[in-house]
Amino acid sequence: MKQIQKFYPHLLAILGFILVSLLYFYPVLQGKKIYQHDIVQYTGMAKEQNDFRAEYDTEPYWTNASFGGMPTYQSGAKYPHDYIGKLDDLLRFLPRPADYLFLYFLGFYGLLLTLRINPLKAFFGALAFGLSTYLIVIIGVGHNAKAHAIAYMPLVIAGFILVFRKKYLHGGILTMLAVALEITANHFQMTYYLFLLLIVMSFYFLYRLYQEKDLKALPKIIATFLIAVTLAVGANATSLMATKEYADFSIRGKSELTTNPDGSKKEANISMDREYITEYSYGVSESLNLIAPRLFGGGNGQKLSEDSHVYNFMLEYGAQPEEAKEITESYGITYWGDQPQVAAPAYIGAIVFFLFVLALYHDKRKIKYAFLAGAIFSLLLSWGKNFSLLTDFFIDYVPAYDKFRAVSSIQVILELCIPVLAIMGLQSFFTTDKEKQWPSLWKTAATSLGLIVVLFLAKGMFSFVGDIDSQLAQALQSHPDKSFGTAFLEALREDRKDLYSADLLRSGFLMLVTFGALYLYTKNKLAQNTAVIIIGVFMVGDLFFVDKNYVSNDGKQFRSAREVDVPFEPTAADSLILADKSIFRVYELDGGLHSPRSSYFHKSVGGYSAVRPRRFEEVYTHLIEKSMNTLGENVDPKTLSLTKSIPVLDVFNIKYLIIGTEQGDIPVTNPFHNGNAWFVKELKYVNSADEELKTLGNLDTKNVAIMNKKPDGLGIYKIAPKANRTFTTDSTASIKLDEYKPNYLKYTSNNNQDGFAVFSEIYYKDGWKATIDGKETRIYKVDYTLRGIEIPKGKHNIEFKFEPQVVKTGSTIALFSSIGMLLVVIGVVYFEQKGKKTE
């Protein structure tokens, strides 16, 4: 009975989390699903692999529907013996996206309990963390893997703290399970940032061990972490090994090219361009959004109301109400911060900030400095190019930092650390003597409200002008009245000023409410629980209403299950192309490389992935994109077909191009496409990747193939060839594709002479095996991205099979690691129960 009473508050908290998660996303109870932009794009490019899985009840591990072909390791591949994945599915039992919100709550609640916060305060703290604006917005746009990884961060930190407290058994098990779940979320950028936080926090714990003269505990702590992390990593071995194998092939790998598409010299020492890495850098002053959401205009999608200056300006200009409303919503872009695009501000809550300051003044536990250091570290790195001294150091010298873009997203660490400190402050306030409470309270009020006052007085120091304004001015310059654009932008700036002032007043009011509740408690006018509930309700309510401006439950965000599951409908152009049952590729010009819609229906050279194949992207940016500049000159308007060969399209077997017009999409036929495979007359050797790519742009691809002499990291040469090779082919030489599956291709070849054939399939050095009449033969990388093999004269059966060894090896490791994890858990439970019986 005592055990039940002990867990009763936690059971109530978990039920509360379930209820809040479902009510927040209540349309899921009506069978609706959230329409997430990124997930819709993923659905497009994953269609082929999902169809294959449904038909054959197995994984292809390769798809030809995106970027010409790529492994599915980062596209939702399912691996054998993924028991941690099954545990994760068990925890995410609620309908999406309520499942991620529930995980936010649950993980943070666990961390707060580890910090000895009582259940009521931990409950409200967990709600405040989970409803932090950024965490809600990433769910709304479909960054599911990111949300997934963030949700498990608090539990990893909780296990980390327990181990350093020498709770080796409980801390070790929690660390093991939490790290395993964190890895299975499959967002390595968030996991990497978590690792950086743990490094920062470890300095505090090591200092404490030194201060307490208890360094002898360090070997046990290290051993516990090694065992826990080794088993956690082992349980995820397949995905980790596959990701590592694929990394160099993706845009996260280092390029061999020394020039950019515009001919300028390429930065050679980092995986991605510095500008690309830091494109999304948080503005230094923009970080004040943490305490007032619309100081910099909110997000790009922020809508102005009919009370706005812009709307009234349009009415005064003679526009009808409906026209004024339409223009206000289309051109009244309030965001004026430093980032190119922001869905919503990273608002943590005015009350959370107030309590965070209270913790700095009042909480005597030194662990607060570990979380404070993590928050400051995160804030500084989130500034990216706006604090280039630190950012450049990390890009140049910190391992793997250059493999991740959107450096502003490291603010998730701050958005975790500050709420932890806030609830620590709230807890400590109620556990100290009354005479110590008032000094901390007035200092907190003076600091927090003083900041609000300073920002209010500093309003005149800001220009309220953003990069978007120049684009708006250009869009508005066609108006007959040349002063219209200037007047419109001035009205827009007035609206931005109003948002700035309104949100400062709002945050100030919420801080005053918190101050008032705590002050009344010190005067014995409120009971502790009453004060906590008042503060908690306002804290959560504040975040709830801000979040609803960016992720709502209306028809735009939540739609019927079919509309979400089948997000694309075929156009007339798609239907015409689908009538052709041969095997070929399609290039949809609208969207270019980032066109997952075409992947839903066809084998496409577009797609949607942050880890798309590097070499194909280089071909696209250096050659394909440039070839489109003169496309209009090469299309016969009567036959809707190309009139001239475009070699870089032909070599990728692009038979159709989809071109958008005012009348709708039209399919343009490419009669010059090379087909699925062909014999060449010459194998030409080049000396560098730059030469290889440049040559490909002007190559007679039907007769000549190019091969790089130098190994490239995916290298295949032991001895560099000395001279070009020639082959004899005649009109009877042929290769025919007889059978197609994403992971299996069967050809029949016929040639009177020994020859060399190019296959319009993407070269990937691991997993693909080629056989001629059942005997394995070597696959060469040709034409920068494609496969080539030598074929003896005569008639032969040629097969390509994708059987990745990394999946077989990784799955074996995952099986034994999962067994090891289970044995550890059983062992700890057994010895704990045995210990209780002997007491």
d(CA 281, CA 381): 9
Strand locations in 516-599 (E): 558-559, 585-588
Cβ atoms 405, 276 nearer than 8 A: yes
Q: Residue type at 544?
A: F
Is residue 796 within 8 Å of residue 772, measured between CB atoms?
yes
Helix%, strand%, coil% for the chain, nearest 5: 55, 10, 30
pLDDT of residue 268: 56
Residue 793 contacts residue 751 (beta carbons within 8 Å): yes
Cα–Cα distance, 26 to 127 (Å, whole number): 16
Q: In angstroms, rounded to a whole number, what is the distance separating the alpha carbons of residues 619 and 631?
A: 17
Is it the case that residue 663 has pLDDT exceeding 90? no
At 257, the amino acid letter reads L
Q: What is the mean pLDDT of residues 651-660?
A: 92
Which element (helix H / strand E) includes 561?
helix 561-565
CA distance 311 to 329: 9
pLDDT digits over 724-771, tens only? 888 888 878 899 999 999 999 999 999 999 999 999 999 999 999 999
Give the mean pLDDT of 134-154.
92
The predicted-structure confidence for 299-340, as pLDDT tens digits, reads as follows 887 888 888 898 888 888 888 888 888 888 888 888 988 888
* Cβ count within 10 A of residue 582: 10
Using a 10 angstrom Cβ sphere, with 0-12 exposed, 13-18 middle and 19 or more buried, the burial of residue 120 is: middle
pLDDT digits (tens, 9 = 90+) for 672-694: 999 999 999 999 999 888 899 89
Query: What is the residue-wise DSSP string for 8-52?
Result: HHHHHHHHHHHHHHHHHTGGGGGT-EE--HHHHHHHHHTHHHHHH
Reference 629, options 577, 589, 671, 661; nearest CA is 589
In the chain, the amino acid numbered 192 is Y
- Nearest CA to 228 out of 283, 305, 267, 174 is that of 174
pLDDT at 816 over 90: yes
Residues in Cβ contact with 495 at an 8 Å cutoff, skipping those fewer than 6 apart: 304, 308, 309, 310, 332, 334
434-452 exposure pattern, b = at least 16 Cβ within 10 A, e = fewer: eeebeebbeebbeebbebb
470 has pLDDT over 80: yes
Parallel, antiparallel or unpaired: strands 70-71 and 664-669: unpaired
User: Residue 466 corresponds to which tokens in the numbers above?
Assistant: 């953003």
Residues 6+ apart with CB under 8 A from 693: 257, 618, 619, 622, 623, 784
Question: Do the beta carbons of residue 411 and residue 132 sit within 8 Å?
Answer: no
Does residue 220 have a pLDDT over 50? yes
What is the C-alpha separation between 307 and 303, in angstroms, rounded?
Answer: 11
User: What sign does the CA torsion over 754, 760, 761, 762 have?
Assistant: positive
pLDDT in tens, 764-815: 999 999 999 999 999 999 999 999 999 999 999 999 999 999 999 999 999 9
SS3 496: helix
pLDDT for res 791: 93
Looking at mean pLDDT, say which of 45-59, 396-410, 799-813 comes out highest.
Answer: 799-813
Strands 704-708 and 744-751: unpaired
Token pair, residue 413, equals 């660490």
pLDDT, residue 712, reads: 47
What residues contact 376, with CB distance under 8 A and at least 6 apart? none
Provide φ and ψ at 69, rounded to 5°.
140, 135
Mean pLDDT of the chain, nearest integer: 89
Please list, in sequence order, all residues whose beta carbon lies within 8 angstroms of the beta carbon of residue 502, skipping any fewer than 6 positions away: 294
Confidence of residue 354 (pLDDT cuts 50, 70, 90): very high
Q: How far apart are CA 639 and CA 622, in angstroms?
A: 29
Q: Which residues contact 621 (CB under 8 A, 6 or more apart)?
A: 261, 593
d(CA 309, CA 493) in angstroms, rounded, equals 9
DSSP secondary structure code for residue 600 in this structure: H
Q: Chain-centre distance of CA 506, in angstroms?
A: 32
Whole-angstrom Cα distance, residue 486 to residue 493?
11
Asked whether the beta carbons of 601 and 580 are under 8 A apart, the reply is no
CB-based contact 283:338 (threshold 8 Å) = yes
The pLDDT, as a whole number, for residue 269 is: 55
Give pLDDT, residue 4.
67
| CA distance to 67, 616, 707, per residue, from 261 (Å) | 18, 13, 21
- Give me 655's structure tokens: 């038979």
Q: How far apart are CA 513 and CA 535, in angstroms?
A: 8
% residues pLDDT > 70 (the chain): 96
Q: Please count the helices (runs of H) and the strands (runs of E) in the chain.
A: 31, 21
pLDDT over threshold 50, residue 714 = no
Residue 363 and residue 425 in contact, taking contact as beta carbons nearer than 8 Å: yes
So what's the pLDDT on residue 713?
A: 38
8 Å CB contact between 160 and 178: no
- How far apart are the C-alpha atoms of 180 and 185, rounded to whole Å? 9
Position 715 confidence tier, pLDDT thresholds 50, 70, 90: very low
The string of pLDDT tens digits covering residues 494-507 is 999 999 999 999 99
3-state secondary structure 114-146: HCCCCHHHHHHHHHHHHCCHHHHHHHHHCCHHH
What's the pLDDT at 447? 96
- Convert the pLDDT of each residue in 554-593 to its tens digit: 667 888 888 888 888 899 999 999 999 999 999 998 877 8
pTM above 0.75, yes or no: yes
Contacts of 16 (CB under 8 A, 6+ apart): 123
Is 213's pLDDT higher than 80? Answer: yes
Q: Which residues contact 153 (CB under 8 A, 6 or more apart)?
A: 107, 182, 190, 194, 412, 416
Q: Which two tokens stand for residue 574?
A: 């798609």
In this structure, the number of other CB atoms found within 10 A of the CB of residue 528 comes to 14
Q: Is the pLDDT of residue 479 over 90?
A: no
| Res 402 pLDDT > 90 | no
Q: What is the average pLDDT across 72-101?
A: 93
Task: Quote the tokens at residue 726.
Answer: 């020639």
| Coil/strand/helix, residue 182 | helix
Question: What are the tens digits of pLDDT across the range 228-276?
Answer: 999 999 999 999 999 999 988 998 888 888 888 877 787 655 566 788 8
The strand order across the sheet containing 585-588 reads: 585-588, 654-661, 664-669, 641-642, 635-636
Amino acid at 81: H
Cβ atoms of 657 and 586 within 8 Å: the answer is yes
Q: Which residues of 380-403 are buried (b: 16+ CB within 10 A; e: fewer)?
A: bbbbbbbbeeebeebbeeeeebbb
How much is the average pLDDT of 163-192?
Answer: 94
* Helical ranges in 185-308 per DSSP H: 188-211, 218-235, 237-247, 274-277
Whether residue 119 is preceded by a cis peptide bond, meaning omega within 30 degrees of 0, is no
Q: What is the pLDDT of residue 281?
A: 87
CA 428/CA 355 separation, integer angstroms: 11
Secondary structure E strands in 722-838: 725-726, 734-741, 744-751, 755-762, 768-772, 775-777, 780-782, 786-791, 794-802
